[in-house]
Amino acid sequence: MWRNLEARAGAPRDSGDPQARQSSDPEEGGGPRSREARSRLLLLEQELKTVTYSLLKRLKERSLDTLLEAVESRGGVPGGCVLVPRADLRLGGQPAPPQLLLGRLFRWPDLQHAVELKPLCGCHSFAAAADGPTVCCNPYHFSRLCGPESPPPPYSRLSPPDQYKPLDLSDSTLSYTETEATSSLITAPGEFSGRDASMSPDATKPSHWCSVAYWEHRTRVGRLYAVYDQAVSIFYDLPQGSGFCLGQLNLEQRSESVRRTRSKIGFGILLSKEPDGVWAYNRGEHPIFVNSPTLDAPGGRALVVRKVPPGYSIKVFDFERSGLLQHADAAHGPYDPHSVRISFAKGWGPCYSRQFITSCPCWLEILLNNHR
């Protein structure tokens, strides 16, 4: 067990995230400063492993099994919570909560502060008080928050790593509300988070809070998928769980670009309705691109498309801000103030080669129901 965890800790983490790849390699070159930087980095990494393993030694075998399965599956099987006491741990002389230690060791080497992490809606840490006696340390029960970013540079086949902007902890988009979670992160076999929206739901069941449409360029594939539970997985292939499986949607003729993009969807996204808005967590290994009315700049005319790296989450629809929005200029064409658009792997807009989302090979349209 320990040997397996040690091996995973030394493996490359979240290969879809350039930040993780970048920070795992010390500075190149043989100068004195470079050697000193590498030495400091190696000492810090060794301290990280020592502190983390001292924490993990307190876990029971069942919790270690859960943790190992989550790490080996890269979140495909996130498993249950791994609860530990809120210990007074330190790394490099700074406080280091358990979720920070394991997140840094197994997922994000450049992770600096626990405030950069957001617990997923089914996790114990989502519902628990911030100063509660225990905290979950399962690294795949957390996502990293997307910070504000500048518009991306003009389209290039070689996307530079600096498109992943550093987190500005003062930005209001980072805030989220921790409240009681009403659904489990893992849906039990046989349970479904949604149903065909063209079918009339049972009168005793609550109304769906959103419907999801899957598009390939200008063609909608399949029917609307209605979501009733607090969270739903939308994926191509997922080892465990249920939700909206895009891999099962058949189309007689698909272009090569669509086939390539579908192969990149993987674990897809987790879409959740939370007290402050709708959040999207990128579970896959490739970025997603998001546009919604509440992400656009106030009074701005330019389309804002946000790039969400693997392992990150973003509030794609802000309930409070949506009430303050003015109607869009009719000159910009049809406009739905209660819809969100998410493209897999390919961006669109003024800074990309694709000007419109209908030029993207695979994308989702999230139609919010409760705010219409």
The angle subtended at Cα 88 by Cα 87 and Cα 94, nearest 5°, is: 135
Domain finish residue from 145, 178, 212: 145
Shared domain for 124 and 237, answered yes or no, is: no
Q: Give a yes or no: residue 169 inside a domain.
A: no
pLDDT above 60 for 159:
no
Q: How far is CA 21 from the centre of its chain?
A: 18
Q: Please, where are the H alpha helices in 11-166? A: 18-23, 32-56, 61-72, 98-106, 124-127
pLDDT at 5: 64
pLDDT at 27: 44
pLDDT at 309: 96
DSSP-derived letter for residue 122 is: T
Shared domain for 136 and 228, answered yes or no, is: no
Asked whether 288 and 281 are in contact (CB, 8 A), the reply is no
Q: Give a yes or no: residue 34 inside a domain.
A: yes
Shared domain for 199 and 140, answered yes or no, is: no
pLDDT at 14: 57
Average pLDDT value for residue range 172-192: 30
Shared domain for 50 and 131, answered yes or no, is: yes
What CATH number corresponds to the domain at position 77? 3.90.520.10
Shared domain for 206 and 139, answered yes or no, is: no
Both structure tokens of 205: 């069941």
Q: 225 falls in which pLDDT band (50, 70, 90)?
A: very high
pTM over the 0.85 mark: no
What CATH number corresponds to the domain at position 317? 2.60.200.10
Shared domain for 103 and 230, answered yes or no, is: no
From CA 310, how far away is CA 288, in angstroms rounded? 8
Q: Give a yes or no: residue 150 inside a domain.
A: no
Please report the DSSP string for 29-50 in residue order: S-SHHHHHHHHHHHHHHHHHHH
How many CB atoms lie under 10 A from the CB of residue 251? 11
Shared domain for 105 and 200, answered yes or no, is: no
Q: Give a yes or no: residue 152 inside a domain.
A: no
Shared domain for 344 and 225, answered yes or no, is: yes
pLDDT at 182: 28
Asked whether 223 and 212 are in contact (CB, 8 A), the reply is no
pLDDT at 303: 83
Beta strands at 243-245 and 231-235: parallel, antiparallel or unpaired: parallel
Shared domain for 122 and 240, answered yes or no, is: no
Shared domain for 123 and 199, answered yes or no, is: no
From CA 269, how far away is CA 344, in angstroms rounded? 10
From CA 137, how far away is CA 80, in angstroms rounded? 10
Q: Give a yes or no: residue 189 inside a domain.
A: no
Helix, strand, or coil (residue 7): helix
Q: 62 falls in which pLDDT band (50, 70, 90)?
A: very high
pLDDT above 90 for 74:
yes
Domain finish residue from 118, 145, 172: 145
Shared domain for 119 and 201, answered yes or no, is: no
Q: Give a yes or no: residue 328 inside a domain.
A: yes
Average pLDDT value for residue range 29-38: 66
Domain that holds residue 42: 2-145
Q: Give a yes or no: residue 183 inside a domain.
A: no
Shared domain for 133 and 269, answered yes or no, is: no
Q: Give a yes or no: residue 63 inside a domain.
A: yes
Phi, psi of 85 (to 5 degrees): -65, 155
pLDDT above 70 for 174:
no
Closest CA to 281 of 271, 291, 290: 271
258-273 b/e with 16+ CB inside 10 Å = b? beebbebbbbbbbbbb
Domain finish residue from 84, 111, 145: 145
pLDDT at 2: 53
Helix, strand, or coil (residue 224): strand
Tally of domains in the chain: 2
Beta strands in the chain (DSSP E): 83-85, 90-91, 94-95, 117-119, 134-136, 142-145, 194-196, 210-216, 219-227, 231-235, 243-245, 269-274, 277-282, 288-291, 306-308, 312-318, 339-344, 363-368
